[in-house]
């Protein structure tokens, strides 16, 4: 029985794929690195933890410290992200799940203050019982946040469904003993998500039917 849906933010509810790609290429250019060719290239190499992703796209932390690069990226990303929209159908899906009696939580590897700032721009905050981010800008993992939240909830782990756009979301769900659905319109390619074995959806409005199916399984 699914009682709580735990949503990822960036790429899942917030459509910031293009902004993130452009910020990455600005970061690469500012530090003398070749840009990523296109969105497909970005979605093929993006991963968590972000420090490993930065190595993959060519950064040497002996030359450029990771914390410096992370701050530069945020300086490029945040002003551009003010113009991002929600994913198509996201708000309607949140409302549908709310009306169905499901509890909803927002869980992100974004810094808590940044997450709250972004969320405040959209008319969806009322759908979330909790908004959980990390305490820095380094996007390492949200795994411990998830484990602690579920442990403190008093609910069975199988009552929780994680919804995200990355393999990391699947790994976090697995570490908690919860279920997971992945969204193909975010930061990682569909083929990468499908390799996890988790159900993959192409639009948020496909989620209510999956919730019903999982609850009836």
Q: pLDDT of 73-91, one tens digit each?
A: 999 999 999 999 999 999 9
Q: CATH classification of 4-15+86-216, choosing from 2.120.10.30, 3.40.50.720, 3.40.50.2300, 3.40.50.1000? A: 3.40.50.1000
Pair of tokens at residue 188: 């990682």
Give the chain's mean pLDDT: 93
Query: How far apart, in Å, are the Cα atoms of 102 and each of 18, 26, 98, 151?
Result: 31, 40, 6, 19
Please state the domain extents for the chain. Answer: 4-15+86-216, 17-81
Q: pTM of the entire structure?
A: 0.94
Tens digits of residue pLDDT in 179-209:
999 999 999 999 999 999 999 999 999 999 9
What's the mean pLDDT in 49-76? 94
Residue count of the chain, please give it.
217
User: For residues 86 and 13, is the Cβ–Cβ distance under 8 A?
Assistant: yes
Q: 77: closest CA among 105, 111, 45? A: 111
Residue 136's pLDDT is 57
Between CA 125 and CA 23 the distance in angstroms is 26
Confidence band of 137 (pLDDT split at 50, 70, 90): very low
Kindly provide the residue ranges of all beta strands, DSSP E only, lying in the chain, ordered along the sequence.
4-7, 14-15, 85-86, 103-111, 130-134, 160-164, 179-183, 200-201
Q: What is the CA radius of gyration of the chain?
A: 17
pLDDT band at residue 139 under the 50/70/90 scheme: very low
Average pLDDT over residues 166-188: 96
Strands 160-164 and 103-111: unpaired
Separation of alpha carbons 46 and 24, rounded Å: 10
104, 98 contact by CB (below 8 A): yes
- Does the structure show a pLDDT above 50 at 138? no
- Coil, strand or helix at 8: coil
């Amino acid at each position: 029985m699914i009682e709580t849906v735990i949503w990822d933010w960036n790429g899942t509810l917030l459509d910031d794929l293009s902004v993130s790609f452009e910020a990455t290429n600005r970061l690469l250019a500012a530090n003398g690195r070749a840009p990523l060719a296109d969105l497909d290239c970005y979605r093929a190499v993006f991963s968590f933890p972000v420090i490993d992703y930065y190595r993959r796209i060519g950064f040497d932390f002996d030359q450029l410290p990771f914390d410096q690069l992370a701050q530069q990226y945020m300086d490029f990303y945040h002003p551009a992200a003010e113009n991002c929209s929600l994913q198509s159908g996201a708000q309607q899906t949140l409302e549908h799940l709310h009306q169905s009696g499901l509890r909803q939580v927002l869980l992100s590897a974004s810094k808590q203050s940044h997450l709250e700032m972004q969320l405040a721009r959209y008319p969806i905050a009322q759908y979330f019982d909790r908004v959980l981010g990390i305490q820095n800008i380094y996007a390492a993992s949200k795994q411990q946040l998830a484990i602690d939240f579920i442990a403190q909830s008093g609910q069975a782990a199988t009552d929780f469904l994680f919804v995200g756009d990355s393999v990391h979301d699947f790994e976090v769900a697995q570490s908690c003993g919860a279920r997971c659905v992945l969204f193909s319109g975010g930061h990682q390619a569909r083929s990468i998500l499908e390799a996890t074995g988790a159900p993959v959806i192409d639009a948020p409005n496909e989620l209510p039917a999956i919730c019903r199916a999982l609850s009836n399984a």
